[in-house]
Amino acid sequence: MKRLLLVSLMFMTGCSLLVRNPEVAVKDVSLVALDGAGATLEIGIDVTNPNPYQISLQGYNYALQIKSLPLASGAVRQTMVFASDKTTNVRIPVKISYADLLEILASRPDLDRIPYQLNAGLDLDLPVGAMTLPIDAAGTFAVPQKYRPASLLMQFSDFLGKVRR
Residue 140's domain comprises 21-144
Question: In angstroms, rounded to a whole number, what is the distance separating the alpha carbons of residues 13 and 9?
Answer: 6
- Overall size of the chain counted in residues: 165
For every residue of 8-31, which 3-state class applies, written as one string? HHHHHHHHHHHCCCCEEEEEEEEE
Does the residue 99 lie in any domain?
Answer: yes
Question: In angstroms, rounded to a whole number, what is the distance separating the alpha carbons of residues 165 and 160?
Answer: 9
The count of other CB atoms within 10 Å of the CB of residue 91 is 12
Task: Identify the CATH number of the domain in which residue 103 sits.
Answer: 2.60.40.10
pLDDT at 111: 87
Question: In angstroms, rounded to a whole number, what is the distance separating the alpha carbons of residues 126 and 128?
Answer: 5
pLDDT exceeds cutoff 60 at 15? no
pLDDT exceeds cutoff 80 at 118? yes
pLDDT at 36: 87
Does the residue 1 lie in any domain?
Answer: no
pLDDT exceeds cutoff 80 at 92? yes
Average pLDDT of the segment spanning 50-73: 95
pLDDT at 16: 46
Angle, CA of 6, 10 and 11, to the nearest 5°:
115
pLDDT at 13: 47
Does the residue 46 lie in any domain?
Answer: yes
Cβ neighbours of residue 133 closer than 8 Å, sequence gap 6 or more: 21, 22, 24, 121, 122, 124
Does the residue 95 lie in any domain?
Answer: yes
Question: In angstroms, rounded to a whole number, what is the distance separating the alpha carbons of residues 22 and 48?
Answer: 5
pLDDT class for 139, splitting at 50, 70, 90?
very high
Number of structural domains (the chain) is 1
Average pLDDT of the segment spanning 123-128: 92
φ/ψ of 56, rounded to 5, equals -105, 135
pLDDT exceeds cutoff 60 at 57? yes
Question: In angstroms, rounded to a whole number, what is the distance separating the alpha carbons of residues 137 and 160?
Answer: 42
